[in-house]
């Protein structure tokens, strides 16, 4: 049996930094080394693996082998974070975590705009070097599948291979517009006769929430919308308030504006529930456990359903 290969931790972190920062120069700045040192570490790692690890495109992408090594680098960060946490318990004030030891998770923009940041605040204040990556809620799990994050909040129900999954509850969405826009374009609310003439503000081109909502609310099988794109949950609301069009957004985000009369609910009798799930690596890790408990508690308070967590061990479904 051939001995298991070991890889230089600095070279692995260098590879991850190039992809995460989008280039060699920014990776060098992050790691506080020269750009030539970054290139040398990458060449050494590629020579050891025997294959190319990066596709020199814009943006730079990792090859299949590169993605495996980046996942390994992220797992090493998690081990260091767990160690730092244990040492902090033994010697408070002794931790000095490095910039590259950040813990990355992917969360959908609507959760960031509503309940996720308050849920994570205690961990950040306790010193967790957290990085949040945002994407559409139907695609955050791609970051986990690629090994670039250790967990994600997503709409995917089934656990990814080697991961655990915890249901967080349903986020409810409503269709809103400014009072002036509603009076001009849909004084009777959203109907099967007027939705085609109304622009809708979507998050980005991957966002199918607008069409899904209109189809279900109006009982239509096929829906084609005129859409404008604003890649921010709060930005979508601001665009609606500015009269750009209507939008389907989290009720949590606009409830106060609806109560103040600043926005109008275009379909008062209908809201679209979207189920959210927390996926994370199936590893014995205090950091992962703390993240899971924080997100579960935050989602429970905001979404109204508290996920069941055993006091000693997380009761998560997993796939091996």
Residue 100 pLDDT greater than 70, yes or no: no
Question: Could you say which architecture CATH assigns to the domain 171-273?
Answer: 3-Layer(aba) Sandwich (3.40)
- CATH 1.10.10.10 in the chain: give the residue spans: 1-100
Alpha helices in 126-194 (DSSP H): 140-145, 179-185
Residue 75 has a pLDDT of 84
Lowest mean pLDDT among 57-61, 162-166, 237-241: 57-61
Q: 311: pLDDT confidence band, cut at 50, 70 and 90?
A: very low
Lowest mean pLDDT among 4-8, 47-51, 291-295: 4-8
- On whether the 1-100 domain is CATH 1.10.10.10, my answer is yes
Q: Say how far apart CA 106 and CA 175 lie, in whole Å.
A: 26
Residue whose pair of structure tokens reads 């269709």 in the numeric block: 175
Question: Could you say which architecture CATH assigns to the domain 101-169+274-318?
Answer: 3-Layer(aba) Sandwich (3.40)
Q: 94: pLDDT confidence band, cut at 50, 70 and 90?
A: very low
Q: Between 245 and 161, where is the model more confident?
A: 245
- Across the range 194-207, mean pLDDT stands at 93
Residue 156 pLDDT greater than 70, yes or no: yes
Residue 90 has a pLDDT of 52
Q: Say how far apart CA 190 and CA 182 lie, in whole Å.
A: 9
Neighbours of 110 (CB within 10 A): 26
Residue 13 pLDDT greater than 80, yes or no: yes
Q: 78: pLDDT confidence band, cut at 50, 70 and 90?
A: confident
CB 126 within 8 A of CB 245: no
- Across the range 25-50, mean pLDDT stands at 89
Residue 183 has a pLDDT of 95
Residues 6+ apart with CB under 8 A from 94: 87, 88
In the chain, % of residues over pLDDT 90: 51
- Phi, psi dihedral angles at 120 (to 5 degrees): -90, -10
Going by their DSSP bridges, the two strands 163-178 and 263-265 should be labelled as: antiparallel
């Amino acid at each position: 049996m051939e001995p298991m290969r070991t890889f230089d931790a600095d070279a692995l972190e260098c590879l991850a930094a190039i992809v995460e920062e989008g280039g060699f120069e920014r990776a060098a700045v992050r790691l506080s080394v020269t750009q030539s040192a970054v290139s040398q570490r990458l060449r050494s790692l590629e020579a050891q693996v025997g294959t190319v690890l990066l596709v020199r495109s814009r943006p730079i992408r990792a090859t299949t082998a590169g993605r495996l090594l980046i996942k390994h680098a992220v797992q090493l960060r998690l081990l260091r974070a767990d160690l730092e946490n244990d040492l902090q318990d033994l010697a408070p004030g002794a931790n000095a975590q490095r910039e590259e030891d950040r813990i990355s998770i992917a969360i959908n923009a609507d959760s960031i705009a509503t309940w996720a940041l308050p849920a994570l605040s205690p961990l950040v204040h306790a010193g967790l070097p957290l990085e949040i990556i945002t994407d559409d809620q139907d695609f955050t799990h791609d970051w986990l599948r690629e090994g670039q994050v250790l967990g994600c909040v997503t709409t995917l129900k089934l656990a990814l291979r080697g991961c655990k999954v915890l249901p967080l509850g349903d986020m409810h969405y409503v269709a809103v517009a400014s009072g002036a826009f509603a009076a001009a374009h849909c004084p009777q609310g959203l109907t099967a006769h007027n939705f085609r003439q109304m622009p809708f503000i979507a998050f980005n081109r991957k966002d199918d929430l607008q069409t899904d909502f209109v189809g279900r609310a109006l009982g239509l099988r096929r829906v084609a919308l005129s859409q404008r794109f604003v890649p921010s949950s709060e930005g979508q609301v601001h665009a609606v308030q500015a009269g750009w069009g209507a939008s389907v957004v989290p009720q949590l985000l606009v409830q106060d504006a609806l109560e103040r009369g600043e926005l109008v609910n275009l379909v008062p009798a209908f809201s679209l529930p979207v189920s959210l799930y927390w996926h994370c690596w199936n590893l014995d890790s205090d950091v992962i456990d703390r993240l899971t408990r924080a997100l579960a508690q935050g989602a429970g308070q905001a979404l109204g359903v508290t996920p069941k967590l055993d006091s000693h061990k997380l009761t998560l479904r997993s796939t091996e």
